Amino acid sequence: MDRRFNVDGNDLVAHLARPAQIHPTCQPGLVIAHGFPAEVGGGINSTSSLPELADRFATESGWVVLAYSSRGVAQSGGNFSLRGWLHDLEGAVAHLRESVPCDGVWILGFGTGGALAVEAAAADRTINGVAAVASPADFEDWARNPRKLLVLAREIGVVRDPVYPESFDDWSEGLRSVRAVEAARRVAPRELLILHGSEDESVPVFDARVVADSHGSADLRIIIGGAHHLRHDPRAIAVLLGWLDRQRAQLVGSSESGVRP
């Protein structure tokens, strides 16, 4: 991670990947939102591999890509909360736009980050589209036992302050505030790619189907035999590269025709 930006008083670390040449008239931008760490240090879900993925998307597809770590993760300051992570994503979108002139911004989210991406796009009509990978339809499982989640968050190090949260009720209520299954309706008719593994052990494939149904015209892709961590599945990356190429082609076509996407 080679840069920082601030959200709600927390310094967040990030990496900005640029293509070899910035397009003068129709440069697409992408923000990558990570999932909830699986263990101390993140394990297979660590954010440490995201800069490499951002570089690949920039090199192979011509996008400007911002990968970042939410509050409480890696070297980013602060403590985890679902509402806080949504603010961080919104801040990342703003930081990308401030860093490089982009003619369109898309969000790619993995796991928790995918649900947040749908929520962020529902609230911000200037987001062009979303790709949600292995993402839950809601966080009711967490909301039913928030104290267990808080203990886990402390164990894996995304809640570091011993007296945090100041209000446990507000912190736990935030777990019900992000519902991709409802937000997807407000994303339509903008682009929504839903990518999920048929053998996902963490988020049932049913979640992908109900979010896609809510959107109405989502591009639903099921990776047969795929598990939860699709970021490490070459078939999923191939789907994402193809999706990015199509989004970029549409942006170029819109620019040439004089119509904004």
- The pLDDT value recorded for residue 26 is 86
Residue 96 sits in a domain whose CATH number is: 3.40.50.1820
- The pLDDT value recorded for residue 259 is 53
- How confident is the model over 32-49, as a mean pLDDT? 75
- The pLDDT value recorded for residue 202 is 95
User: Rounded CA gap, 247 and 51, in Å?
Assistant: 21
In a domain, 22, yes or no: yes
In a domain, 159, yes or no: yes
Give the confidence band of 254 by pLDDT, cuts at 50, 70, 90: confident
Q: Is the pLDDT of residue 88 over 50?
A: yes
pLDDT digits (tens, 9 = 90+) for 192-226: 999 999 999 999 999 999 999 999 999 999 999 99
pTM of the model: 0.95
Q: Is the pLDDT of residue 43 over 50?
A: no
In a domain, 20, yes or no: yes
Give the confidence band of 38 by pLDDT, cuts at 50, 70, 90: confident
pLDDT digits (tens, 9 = 90+) for 135-190: 999 999 999 999 999 999 999 999 999 999 999 999 999 999 999 999 999 999 99
- The pLDDT value recorded for residue 257 is 63
Domain count, the chain: 1
- How confident is the model over 19-33, as a mean pLDDT? 89
- The pLDDT value recorded for residue 256 is 62
In a domain, 128, yes or no: yes
Tell me the pLDDT of the chain averaged across its residues.
93
- How confident is the model over 29-50, as a mean pLDDT? 79
- How many CA atoms within 13 Å lie on the side-chain side of 2? 11
- How many CA atoms within 13 Å lie on the side-chain side of 51? 9
- DSSP-assigned states of every residue in the chain: --EEEEETTEEEEEEEE--SS--SS--EEEEEE----SSTT-GGG-GGGHHHHHHHHHHHH--EEEEE--TTSTT--S---HHHHHHHHHHHHHHHHHHS--SEEEEEEETHHHHHHHHHHHH-TTEEEEEEES--S--HHHHHSHHHHHHHHHHHTS---TT--S-HHHHHHGGGS--HHHHHHHHTTSEEEEEEETT-SSS-HHHHHHHHHHHSS-EEEEETT--S-GGG-HHHHHHHHHHHHHHHHHHHHHHHHT---
- The pLDDT value recorded for residue 260 is 53
pLDDT digits (tens, 9 = 90+) for 45-77: 567 889 999 999 999 999 999 999 999 999 999
- How confident is the model over 99-105, as a mean pLDDT? 93
Q: What is the largest CA-CA distance in the chain?
A: 56
Q: Cα–Cα distances in Å, from 208 out to 21, 81, 114, 200?
A: 36, 23, 11, 11
**Is the distance from CB of 135 to CB of 214 less than 8 angstroms?**
no
Structure tokens at 34: 């990570």
- The pLDDT value recorded for residue 42 is 52
User: Rounded CA gap, 101 and 5, in Å?
Assistant: 17
- The pLDDT value recorded for residue 54 is 97
In a domain, 114, yes or no: yes
First-last CA distance in the chain:
31
In a domain, 261, yes or no: no
- The pLDDT value recorded for residue 39 is 67
Tell me the residue range of the domain where 86 lies: 3-256
- DSSP-assigned states of every residue in 210-253: HHHHHHSS-EEEEETT--S-GGG-HHHHHHHHHHHHHHHHHHHH
User: Rounded CA gap, 37 and 82, in Å?
Assistant: 13
- The pLDDT value recorded for residue 48 is 80
Q: Is the pLDDT of residue 44 over 90?
A: no
